[in-house]
Structures are given as structure tokens and as C-alpha cells.
Structure 1
């Protein structure tokens, strides 16, 4: 058994990625920090964990810049992107994007600062403001668990999803 308590895998990263592409995921941007230290990152692993107490989580690669900001501030904001915001998801997925307010350029500007830290992005269809509960180490990623302190729906629009290696939108299923 390995030091993480998990048996070594016979599944390759390429196999896991190929199978995971079959599962659609909502696309969000997680923001944290203030002023020159604010940053955002595209995340497709966001999920709610519990209704009572209200908890949510997302995973991030070990060493991602956003982790340090969340540790320092103790909070983060999850922005749910609309179908027409694929350009915002691509912008925040760029690891070379600058830190600070310069990293919120190109139509991906903040609409409002959160009461805790980070930003609610202009055009987002919903948001979750979370206080960090803890990080859980998980392989080459870290799972951030947050207590949801504020959340809301900002407008009625279809969400952006990621499936098959591409951004997509949801289509209603025809009734039987």
C-alpha cells in the first residue's frame, strides 16, 4: 500500500481523463483575495456537499496560486458561468494571467466584491460565498471545503458546461 493509503493505480492519467470527459461538469470561476492580491481560476469540480450545514467544495491542483490566497483570506467565492461566458472560462484558465485586478480584464471584470473576499463576476448566473473549513490532500490535488455563508441566483440563463473536452450548453430533453 502507498503512503497515502491508496493502492497504486493501474489506470493511467490518459484513461481517467478520457472516461471523465463523458461526464458533463458545470463551469465556475473561483475568486479569492483583495486588491493587488485578488485572483480567479476556472474550476469544473465544484459541488455542493451538504444542505445542513451548507457546505460546498472544489478541487485544485496542488501548488495553484488560488490556494495560498484562500489560506490567507480564509474565504472564496464560486461564480457559476452562463453558457455565453466560455471566453471568461478560457481567460481564467490561463496560468499566465496576471495576479491582481489586471487578471480580471478582457470582459471578465468583477461586478461586486464579496463580503468575505474575492469577487462576484459580471454576467455570472449564480454565486456561493464560502468560508474555508479545510483543505483535504487528495493525490496531486487539494479539495477545498467551504461553509456557504451567502449564495444567490443573479439571472436566468443556461449554465456553461464542460463535456468531451469542450464547452457546451444544456439542451432540454424532449418530453415522452
Structure 2
């Protein structure tokens, strides 16, 4: 009978549960990964936006350039950024428990370059350079950025030489202009701009 067969199958499954497959087992030996430099070059083929990650306010403001921004969830509203685990930004983020993400426009590439350097500005010098203000949730934000999002630190996950930070968005502001500014784009190791909508394709010279 169907009921008896079902009970028998359930009993066998309980007596002999499936064994997990180990990815590192002899039959699943992973091949060696690519050279890190080759991986960096390959990922350079994927164009991204550019952001400034800010943490703190006033004299405690810290800023770093990032292009690792990913939307994670709509309910609750979560985003993800990635920072170096041995960098000086991560301890500040943990201590503050919050941060802001500022999406840069095509005209703000100089800021992206400056805040990607080891000798980048911080504190009041960074605030003056960016014209930063304290956002409604207490983090320094850049009013002229295309989008500003303040976040509380929702979770942190170590991943290789970086740490993935999940932020819960607590405040969001975007440029209200009918024609929003063009975004700053990072592609193949350099900054780029999107072509205007409807622009003809660029033809290569013979």
C-alpha cells in the first residue's frame, strides 16, 4: 500500500541518513586557483560604480574609496561592502558600529583617487575636502554625491584577506535633479564615464 511503502522509505532514510560530501575529499580535490594578479585583471573586465565609505563625524571622520557595493535585501534594507581585514578602516567601523556609503559622480574622480591612497585625508581635513556634513544618523556624508546612505553594522563576515560588512540602511538621500549626474565608473583599472543615452557607438579607426 502507498502508506506502508512511505513509512518503510522514511524508516530507511532515518536509519541511513545521507552522508555529507566533503569538498576536500579525495574525489572532490579542488584544482589550484588562479594567480591573484590574473584574477584582479579578469575582474577588471567587470565595470563597477565607485563610492566613498565614510565612518564617524567631524574630527573622527575616516574615508576610503570602495567599488565593492552590493544590494543584499529589501526587507530589511541591507547592503554589502568589502574592506581589507588588515586595513586601518575595519577597527574604526567595528568601534563605530555604523558607516555611510556615498556614490560618486563622474566629476568626483579626484576624490576617488585621493581616498584610495595610504596617505589619504582624515578627520577635519577630509570633511573640508569633501564638504561633508553630519547625516541624520550621525555619520559624515557627502552632500554632492549622487546617493548617500547611512547604515548600522548588521553583520561582519571574514572572507579571505577582506571582511564583508552587511549594513542596515537607516537613511537614504539621492540627487533630486531631473537629470541626475553621470556616475563614476571603474573599468580595467581606470575611471570611466557612461556614454549619454542615445549616443551613437564609438567606431574604431581602421
TM-score w.r.t. structure 1 length? Answer: 0.87
Structure with the largest fraction of strand: 1
Matching residue within 141, 149, 158 for 1:120: 141
Q: CA deviation at 1:55?
A: 0.2
Q: CA deviation at 1:162?
A: 0.1
Residues 41-100 of structure 1 deviation map (CA, whole Å, 9 limit, x = unaligned)? 000001111111100011011122221221111110000000010001011111112431
Structure with the largest fraction of helix: 2
Structure 2 gap segments, 5+ residues each: 1-23, 25-29, 200-206
The CA distance in 2 between the partners of 1:104 and 1:22, in whole Å, is 33
Matching residue within 101, 104, 125 for 1:81: 104
RMSD: 2.0
Establish whether residue 130 from structure 1 lines up as the match of residue 154 from structure 2.
no
Which structure is higher in RCO with an 8 Å CA cutoff and minimum separation 6? 1
Runs (4+) of structure 1 exceeding 4 A deviation are 172-175
Aligned pair count?
Answer: 169
The CA distance in 2 between the partners of 1:22 and 1:152, in whole Å, is 30
Write the mapping of 1:22-171 to structure 2, written as runs, cut at 5 A: 22-105=45-128, 107-110=129-132, 112-155=133-176, 156-171=180-195
Q: CA deviation at 1:118?
A: 2.6
Q: Secondary structure at the match of 1:93?
A: coil
Q: Which moved more, 1:40-49 or 1:63-72?
A: 63-72
Structure 1 gap segments, 5+ residues each: 2-6
Structure of larger gyration radius: 2
Residues 5-55 of structure 1 deviation map (CA, whole Å, 9 limit, x = unaligned)? xx5742111111111010001100000013332101000001111111100
Does the 8 Å contact 1:126/1:151 carry over to 2? yes
Q: Which moved more, 1:42-51 or 1:7-16?
A: 7-16
TM-score w.r.t. structure 2 length? Answer: 0.75
